[in-house]
Amino acid sequence: MSVVIVNLVCVAALIAVDQIIKQWAVAVLAPVGSMPLIPHVIELRFCLNEGAAFSLLSGKQGLLIAVTSVALAGVAWYLFFRCRGRARRWERIAMILVLAGGLGNLIDRVANRCVVDYLNFLFISYPIFNFADICVCVGMAVFVLCILFEEKDGSAAGEKKG
């Protein structure tokens, strides 16, 4: 039970950070448009994104909300029913990040019909993104690494047995 509470607190804290940054972006960044964060590397640029990653499905809010909700229900199930024990610690961290980031952007979609983005790389052509996007991407990267290391450990264990 305590792991469930810790998971919920972590998800809530990450969502709170995301929403606070987005509120700051609307209040402070929107009026000026952009400001440097690290000159010539990354800037803070206010942007409202009506689509998903890379502005895909722009204007299809109903579909994005439905698909995101179903996907996040699966992530929540995995986090609260599959990730148990110390061996699953990194999987739990990954799912906490994915769930929090997904919910942070879902809150925007439901409340505002768009997502507030504000981080813009200047040295490459890359879409503007936000803290929630970082949570989702880092969480998925950690999850993929968990799967890869589990496969490696599983095959190594199988070789020793056989």
* Active centre residues (catalytic): 117, 133
Q: Per DSSP, what are the bridge partners of residue 121?
A: 42
Residue (of 115, 150, 147) closest to 133 by Cα position: 115
Residue (of 39, 106, 47, 111) closest to 72 by Cα position: 106
Quick one: DSSP state of residue 143?
H
Q: Please enumerate in sequence order all residues whose Cβ is within 8 A of that of 122, keeping only pairs 6 or more positions apart, or say none.
A: 40, 41, 42, 43
Alpha-helical segments (H) within the chain: 2-24, 30-32, 61-77, 89-112, 131-161
